[in-house]
Amino acid sequence: MSQTPELVVKDLRVAVEGKEILKGLNLEVKKGEIHALMGPNGSGKSTFANTLMGHPRYQVTSGEILFKGESILELEADERSRAGLFMAFQYPVAIPGVTVANFLRSALNARLAPPDANGAGAMPQKRGIAPKEFRAMLREKMALLRMDESFATRYLNDGFSGGEKKRAEILQMAILKPEIAIMDETDSGLDIDALRIVSEGVNALAGPELGVLVITHYQRILNYIKPHFVHVMVDGRISVSGGPELALELETRGYDWVRDVREAEAL
Per-residue pLDDT tens over the stretch 202-233: 999 999 999 999 999 888 899 999 999 999 99
Query: In the sheet that 7-16 helps form, which strands lie side by side, from edge to edge?
Result: 19-29, 7-16, 59-67, 70-71
- Supply the pLDDT for residue 54: 96
Indicate the angle between helix axes 192-205 and 162-176, nearest 10 degrees: 0
Distance separating alpha carbons of residues 197 and 105, to the nearest angstrom:
24
Does residue 124 carry a pLDDT above 50? no
pLDDT at 144: 87
pLDDT tier for residue 267 given thresholds of 50, 70 and 90: low
CA distance 221 to 228: 14
- Tens digits of residue pLDDT in 32-47: 999 999 998 889 999 9
The answer to whether 152 and 141 are in contact (CB under 8 A) is no
On the question of pLDDT at 117 being above 60, the answer is: no
Whether 175 has a pLDDT exceeding 70, the answer reads yes
First to last CA, the chain: 38
DSSP state string for 107-125: HHHHHHPPB-TTSSBPPPP
Q: Which segment of 65-74, 160-169, 251-260 scores lowest on mean pLDDT?
A: 251-260
| Three-state DSSP state, 152 | helix
Between helix 162-176 and helix 100-112 the angle, nearest 10°, is: 30
CATH of 7-266, one of 3.40.640.10, 3.40.47.10, 3.40.50.300, 3.10.580.10: 3.40.50.300
Q: Return the minimum-mean-pLDDT range out of 6-20, 109-123, 231-245.
A: 109-123
* Average pLDDT value for residue range 107-133: 70
Higher pLDDT, 266 or 29: 29
Mean pLDDT of the chain: 90
* Residue 255 pLDDT: 86
Over 80: is that where the pLDDT of 3 sits? no
The yes-or-no verdict on residue 2 having pLDDT over 70 is no
Predicted local distance difference test score (pLDDT) of residue 257: 82
Quote the CA–CA distance of 192 and 195 in Å, as a whole number: 5
Mean pLDDT of 119-129: 56
Q: For residue 90, is pLDDT > 80? A: yes
DSSP annotation of 71? E
At 194, the pLDDT band (50, 70, 90 cuts) reads confident
119 has pLDDT over 50:
no
Distances (CA, A) of 168 to 38, 53, 66, 96, 222: 24, 19, 28, 14, 20
Percentage of the chain modeled with pLDDT above 70: 91
- Where do the structural domains in the chain lie, given as residue ranges? 7-266
Q: What is the pLDDT of residues 232-260, one digit of tens each?
A: 999 999 999 999 999 888 888 888 888 77
